[in-house]
Chain A
Amino acid sequence: MPATRRQFLSLVGSVTVIPIVALPPVDATPTMLNTAIRNVVGEAAVRIGKVKLEIPPLVENGNTVPMTVSVASPMTADDYVKSIHIFNEKNPQPNIGNFYLNPSSGRAQVSTRIRLADTQKVVAIARLSDDSFWQVAADVVVTLAACTEEVN
């Protein structure tokens, strides 16, 4: 919501100038997430549905989180899933993985294990053979973060 934020900031700025600098960049990473998604989908609309993301809602260890993504598709030569893209909201980098399928995949389903640095949203987007995009998001609570801990 850039417009709302701008309005808010200008409102704050009219009252006092100093706290603006001190505001943490709260939407810095969601912006990266949006940019990463736009890099894949371009200007296309992303609809909600068809994609299913199976991931535990609560994980103790963010270093290895099992994840399965599947797409409702007949996987025929005329109607199949071209690719599946997984994104996160709060890791240092918004991408998790891109998976490329074809009609002979038979079933549009991929499983892997991922890292989550924080409690956050995971987004899966599928590109179908008609170049439409479908997405689903899942919230995951992480008690032990991955990625950024010190190396001993």
Chain B
Amino acid sequence: MAALVNVPTRAKRGDIIEIRTLTSHIMETGFRHTMDGAPVPRDIITSFTCRHNGAEIFRADLFPAIAANPYLSFFTVAKESGKFEFEWIGDNGYSSIASASIIVE
């Protein structure tokens, strides 16, 4: 798995929790050239989505100005136990998923 996700394993109902994700990707901007002047084609992640038990809780559009190996941190309210699903979509048919479970008590 090329992605790292950090979600608390347990939380109290109503707590605001931080979710951090890091995925391995070159994020080639498409603005660079090789030494002999040929343009390097763009290859980036364009979209990130986080769902909790199927419902979208966070979404991001990414552009070439996002650094290589995109890192994202965001927050959500712990409402119920279940699964967080993470999805990265990008150029050249790139797709990657990850998941993490949480127990809300």
Mark A residues whose CB is within 8 Å of B.
63-65, 68, 88, 91-93, 95-102, 104-116, 146-152
Contact = CB atoms under 8 A, between A and B. Distances in A.
Interface string B23-67: 000000101111100001000000000000000111111111111
Contacts of B100: none
Given A92-B64, A93-B63, A98-B60, A104 B77 contact: yes
A91 B70 CA distance: 18
Contacts, number: 108
28 contacts: A64-B67, A68-B73, A95-B63, A96-B66, A98-B61, A99-B74, A105-B76, A109-B73, A109-B74, A109-B75, A111-B71, A112-B66, A112-B67, A112-B73, A113-B66, A113-B71, A114-B67, A115-B64, A115-B65, A115-B66, A147-B32, A147-B65, A149-B32, A150-B32, A150-B33, A150-B35, A151-B32, A151-B40
Contacts of A101: 58, 74
